[in-house]
Amino acid sequence: MEKLQSIVTSVMVLHFMLIVTGILFLNACNSESKQSKNDKSFMNTIENPYLGQKPPGLIAEPFAPGLVSTQNWEVCGTFTPDMRSFYFIKDNGPNTKMEFVVFEYKNKLWQKRVVSKRAGQPFISPDGNTMHLGRRYKQRTETGEWSEIKKLDSAFQNIQIMRLTSSSKGTYVFDEIGMPDGDGVIRYSRLINGKREAPKDFGKEINTGKMNAHPFIAPDESYLIWDSERDIGHGDSDIYISFKQKDGTWGKAINMGENVNTTAWEAGASVTPDGKYLIFNRNMGSDKYENVDVFWVDAQIIEKLRPKN
């Protein structure tokens, strides 16, 4: 009898242990399932990135034909760091005013909105908190919206800046319109111990030739991209790149090649915040620039140009 009771007790204990194990297993599965769903949701926050466009290869293609690139004039395309907004400047044709336009990803759709009239060439800082507009800027507010336009300090107000970009360290890199109103020189200004230094010229590696303009400084400051008219170019303004050397100096200007540059005007290049694509402008019209489009190309083209040593 005692043996039978012992067996029954053992069976009950074993049954209880199996139930507890089963509950723990189910909870673990549910937790893993929830985590998997969360991971999937995180990885697919944008189901149709880049305005739903098929990414290009190593030969430049028009960006978003019919949406962004049309038969008119579209320039200065730039994404926010979260890749959920794409800003650019648009001209709708003769006798119209230029518009500052944005495509925003909301409710799983890209939605177009006119922000304002042209307000300067836009560039979003790597941290997403500042929209640079040449000598002016906007800042993110607590609600996530952009503030009213503000001015940079007086050290920048006497420079006819077209485009200003910034690195993750807060370094400003900017141009000045060419003659007769400006000198066509690219400059920089670093943050040193929290204070902004006075603007300084880049060296001859950058400021050689004519119409050096529209710079883009990499977030980590490892390279600089800009456009210039040079004897070694393909025709009109071409896009160049220079890589920072180990000693902190800048390497020679490298023409970004025939997959980017043509005999037409190419300018205003930048790299998408995810580091995957180079976006720039190309004149598709006559010398009156009535049709300028936004183009893009795989950013691996940069790595192919990077010096190996």
pLDDT above 90 for 92: no
What burial class does residue 174 get, using C-beta atoms within 10 Å of its C-beta: 0-12 exposed, 13-18 middle, 19+ buried? buried
State the first-to-last Cα distance of the chain, in angstroms, to the nearest integer.
86
Instruction: Decide if pLDDT at 38 tops 70.
Output: no
What is the band of 76 on the pLDDT scale with cuts at 50, 70, 90? very high
How far is 294 from 164, CA to CA, in rounded Å?
19
Q: pLDDT of 230-249, one tens digit each?
A: 988 898 999 999 999 999 99
Contact 97, 89 (CB under 8 A): no
What is the widest separation between alpha-carbon atoms in the chain? Answer: 111
Segment 136-156 shows an average pLDDT of 96
Instruction: Return the CATH number of the domain spanning residue range 50-305.
Output: 2.120.10
pLDDT of residue 45: 61
Q: What angle do CA 230, 70, 164 make, to 5 degrees?
A: 45
| Confidence category of residue 31, pLDDT binned at 50, 70, 90 | very low
Rounded Cα distance, 185 and 307, in Å: 25
The whole-model pTM stands at 0.84
Q: Identify residue 58 by its one-letter amino acid code.
A: L
| pLDDT score at 179 | 80
Residue with the bigger pLDDT between 202 and 10: it is 202
Mean pLDDT of 47-67: 96
**Confidence bin at 96 (pLDDT 50/70/90):** confident
Residue 61 contacts residue 69 (beta carbons within 8 Å): no
Give whole-number Cα distances, 304 to 155, 196, 255, 307, in Å.
Answer: 38, 34, 12, 8
Domain ranges of the chain: 1-44, 50-305
